[in-house]
Amino acid sequence: MKKDKGDRKPAPGDATPANAKVQQLAAHTTDGADEFLTTNTGVRVNDDQNSLKAGDRGPTLLEDFIFREKMTHFDHERIPERIVHARGAGAHGIFKAYPNAAALSRAAFLQDPSAETPVFVRFSTVAGSRGSTDLPRDARGFAVKFYTSEGTYDLVGNNIPVFFIQDAMKFPDLVHAVKPEPHNEIPQATAAHDTFWDFISVMPESLHMIMWAMSDRAIPRSLRMMEGFGVHTFRLIDAAGTARFVKFHWKPLLGLHQVVWEEAQVISGADPDFHRRDLWEAIEEGHFPEWELGVQVVEEADEHAFDFDLLDPTKIIPEELVPVQRIGKMTLNRNPDNFFAETEQAAFHPGHVVPGIDFSNDPLLQGRLFSYTDTQLLRLGGPNFQEIPINRPVTPVHNNQRDGHMRQTIDRGRTAYGPNTLARGCPMQARAAQGGFVHHAERIDAHKVRARSPSFHDHYSQATLFFNSQTPVEQQHMIDALKFELGKVETIAIRERMLVHLSHISESLAKPVAEGLGLAIPAKSDVHLNMSIPADTDPAEVQPRAPKPGKRSVKTSPALSMTSLPGSGIRTRRVAVVVADGTAAADVERIVSALEAEGAMPKLVAPSLGTLKLEGGGERPIDFSFLTTSSALFDAVFLPGGKRAMEKLVTMDPVFEFVRMAYRHLKPIGASGEGVELLSAAIAGLRPGGKPASTGAPGIITAGGALGDDDMRKFVGAIEMHRFWDRV
């Protein structure tokens, strides 16, 4: 049963930090219910349908202050969209630490396992505009705002643990390259064009990220079913002042799942808001998404123990070398009340940290510490964007910052400076023991240079590690993605440079891509592969090199393969039950009740909307017609029996295409009674991957008669598997 949003909020008298944030937002909320329409100054409006005129056919009068206020606000109600991560979805929730967290960091929100810290999370695509689709091949933003008792902490990351570049100096170039080309503003929300691959082909540091972006990680099934990563190396500081390096992970409890490329294209047409709608509906229905916060912790003494540099944002720490410790759980349990006021105006910043969390010298992170504030000054109108309710911390704010555009706080008192005596020295600085933030005292002795450490020069080994860690099916998806992307590139020289890079990663990757492009792989020595080095650098210093012997390394990492990280159960999986008037009532009741008992979401799909009249009596409301949905929007399909219904459905092309698409996309399909005949007729002649389609193929569950308990267990088990890669 759908839960009311109000049922999920803490009790009004609850004094938890989570409730404090709910009450703070509620104080700035109005729904206008049962109220008179007013102007912004509170004057009640008598007529909001007609402007003031000199006679009913005369000119509009300038004195119409109601019209002028309404139109002026409309003309100015859009703010600049984010340069990247423009298209997003957000949700409120809570975070609770596990008992093992307190030993790693003195951050207050990690100390008490019984305490709830309110959070706001924004997911996003990266390259496209606000109006683009949810399903491009792209990285996804994963930004979490913790409203802690010590101030706001933002963990700003992606669903991919590495990035394209090592130094923030290159970020404007990366974004200019991936965005639509400036002469014609084409293409939107895709990297499949010349300027992006031109940039990548002379920036080999990007190749590890490219492997992730060409994998199934870049087309997730749901925002609720993808990992998140902090990308950078940070530091955790414990109560004794000991610092340790850390990489942050978010592990979804629903498991990792993806769509296939054809499915992503279909979804973009059938429902371009698929991810945003999926997140919203899951929370509204009470199926709250959950992630565990994980950390990979490295002692400072082991900083140089690996065959890569911990400060290099294009590198991961393989989980086989440093396991992920799970130190807390985040639950998203409330949708925003207003998209613009909350999701669009949310301002995240990797520099928003609290005592117990500190930065490393990652050069990409260091540049982001400047960029994010600079961006919000333009996008949100000035230096007071932290006073917008969604950005306001739950802890009191005391400082000497005053005035500025859109100031909300009314400051009292004479002093706006420090030190002072007139206000008894307030606001006072806090000692470390009083919760004052103190940076880790790292010793640095170096010359000012524009350079990168030689330890940043290995650009291929982890790209190879990622490719070699994938299953054959996942490797083929990467090959196909590169064929598609590079096939859209018009400049042959760019394709050839990329083929040389791919050959450095793996010949088994480069050769099929080259065949798909109709090209030979050029000799590695004939192509200039790295234009990201300073003009006076010896090219020999940045040639592809093997990791140094004696360092900690792995050849493959099973944790990098999505198929090795399944979830448990079938909660929130969407199952299409294909029906028409005359469908067997017993089959429908059995399949719907069994799926709902497992937390899945069965939906009736029929030739037309309205009410389904069941064989044997009874009626049910129909959720979708074949014109208003697609099997690409579901995780599984079931065809129940009923002779009269099947006689109608077997004559309809949309039904056949609905079933065939599910079969091609390797999804579980169940059928009972006459539904087995419909399934057999629909897939006849299909040869996905060269294999003839069969009702006996993996993931196809059939019952010749009425549905039994064993049939349902098999179908539920098939849905849990998500896809059946051995079907092709």
Dist. CA 232–CA 247, nearest whole Å: 7
Dist. CA 656–CA 469, nearest whole Å: 37
Q: Which of 85, 457, 459, 504 is catalytic?
A: 85
Report how far apart the first and last C-alpha atoms of the chain are (Å, whole number): 38
The half-sphere exposure of 95 on its side-chain side, counting CA atoms within 13 A, is 29
Helix axes of 507-517 and 472-487: crossing angle, nearest 10 degrees: 40
- Work out the burial of residue 131: count CB atoms within 10 Å of its CB; fewer than 13 is exposed, 13-18 middle, 19 or more buried: exposed
Dist. CA 462–CA 316, nearest whole Å: 8
Q: Which of 19, 92, 158, 159 is catalytic?
A: 158
Which H or E element spans position 229?
A: strand 228-229
Whether residue 158 lies in the annotated active site: yes
> Burial code of 90-120, b = ≥16 C-beta within 10 A, e = fewer?
bbbbbbbbeeebbebbbbbbbbeeebbbbbb
Closest C-alpha among 300, 295, 254 to residue 278: 254
Copy the structure tokens of residue 50: 């007609």
Those residues whose C-beta lies under 8 Å from the C-beta of residue 677, and which sit 6 or more positions away, are 646, 650
* Cβ proximity of 232 and 364 under 8 Å: yes
DSSP 8-state code for residue 584: B
Per the listing, tokens 């799942």 go with: 257
Dist. CA 303–CA 391, nearest whole Å: 35
Closest C-alpha among 289, 286, 11 to residue 144: 289
DSSP 8-state code for residue 546: P
Q: How far is CA 724 from the centre of its chain?
A: 25
Which H or E element spans position 66?
A: helix 65-75
Per the listing, tokens 């909660």 go with: 571
The residues that are catalytic are: 85, 158
